[in-house]
């Protein structure tokens, strides 16, 4: 049964829905950076620069939020691109960064910042350990303040990272495509 929303409340609800959608999208981007990977044959000692797969992020707030998407991550913590895709393969968001600039594009909207860390902090409201995420994708355990990572299944393309501090708590799950 559909219920009419009083006219004065429609814009507020639309803004709230947009805000929650953008926050979830940004959380996915962070998660994507954290651990989307597709192993490819590479020479020994060569670092990967392309990861693909699926990621899911759950953020524990008063109203828990969760997001999942396919992703394509290329580059490194210093310079790269993350593309989030919906189940039909359409681009939800694109994040690009280099040493002194980062931007996220969602549809017709672009948001810029002086760094990827600052952009993610601004969009998600919490810091994300970008350097650590790239190491985790490579299967290297690197400490990140407030985060615990489980790399026990990284050879099978699975990574789980949990943030306990600062709040809100968050869980990032990544499944890499082989």
- Return the percentage of the chain with pLDDT > 70, whole number: 70
- Residue 40: the pLDDT is 43
- Residue 13: the pLDDT is 55
- How many residues in the chain? 178
- Return the percentage of the chain with pLDDT > 90, whole number: 44
Highest mean pLDDT out of 9-18, 59-68, 169-178: 169-178
Render pLDDT for 139-166 as a digit per residue (tens, 0 to 9). Answer: 999 999 999 999 999 999 999 999 998 8
Map residue 71 onto helix, strand or coil: strand
- Gyration radius of the chain's alpha carbons: 17
Mean pLDDT, the chain, integer: 78
Tell me the DSSP string of 135-161. Answer: HHHTT-----TTEEEE-TTGGGTEEEE
**Tokens (6 digits) for 78:** 């210093």
Q: Does position 11 have pLDDT exceeding 60, yes or no?
A: no
Render pLDDT for 98-111 as a digit per residue (tens, 0 to 9). Answer: 989 999 999 899 99
> What domains are there in the chain, each with its CATH number?
8-176 (2.50.20)
- Residue 5: the pLDDT is 47
Q: Which is more confident, 115 or 127? A: 115
- Where does the chain show beta strands of DSSP type E? 50-60, 65-75, 80-85, 91-98, 101-106, 109-113, 147-150, 158-163, 169-176
d(CA 155, CA 146) in angstroms, rounded, equals: 24
Q: Does position 42 have pLDDT exceeding 50, yes or no?
A: no
Q: How far is CA 33 from CA 62, 70, 128, 136, in A?
A: 25, 12, 9, 10
Q: Does position 28 have pLDDT exceeding 50, yes or no?
A: no
The verdict on whether omega for the bond into residue 168 sits within 30 degrees of 0, i.e. cis, is yes
**pLDDT bracket for residue 44 (50, 70, 90):** very low
Render pLDDT for 48-79 as a digit per residue (tens, 0 to 9). Answer: 789 999 988 888 876 777 788 999 999 999 99
**pLDDT bracket for residue 45 (50, 70, 90):** very low
Q: Does position 121 have pLDDT exceeding 80, yes or no?
A: no
**Tokens (6 digits) for 152:** 């026990």
Residues 6+ apart with CB under 8 A from 103: 95, 96, 97, 110, 111, 112, 113, 119
d(CA 73, CA 31) in angstroms, rounded, equals: 11
């Amino acid at each position: 049964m559909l219920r009419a929303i009083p006219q004065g409340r429609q814009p507020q609800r639309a803004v709230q829905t947009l805000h929650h959608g953008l926050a979830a999208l940004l959380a996915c981007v962070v998660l994507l950076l954290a651990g989307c990977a597709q192993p490819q044959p590479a020479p020994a000692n060569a670092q990967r620069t392309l990861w693909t797969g699926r990621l899911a992020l759950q953020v524990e707030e008063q109203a828990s939020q969760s997001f999942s998407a396919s992703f394509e991550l290329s580059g490194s913590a210093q310079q790269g691109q993350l593309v989030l895709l919906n189940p039909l393969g359409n681009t939800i968001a694109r994040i690009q960064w280099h040493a002194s600039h980062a931007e996220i594009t969602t549809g017709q909207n672009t948001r810029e910042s002086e760094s990827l860390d600052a952009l993610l902090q601004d969009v998600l409201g919490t810091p994300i350990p970008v350097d650590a995420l790239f190491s985790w994708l490579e299967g290297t355990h690197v400490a990140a303040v407030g985060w615990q990572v489980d790399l026990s299944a990284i050879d099978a393309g699975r990574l789980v990272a949990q943030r306990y501090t600062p709040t809100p708590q968050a869980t990032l799950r990544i499944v890499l495509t082989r």
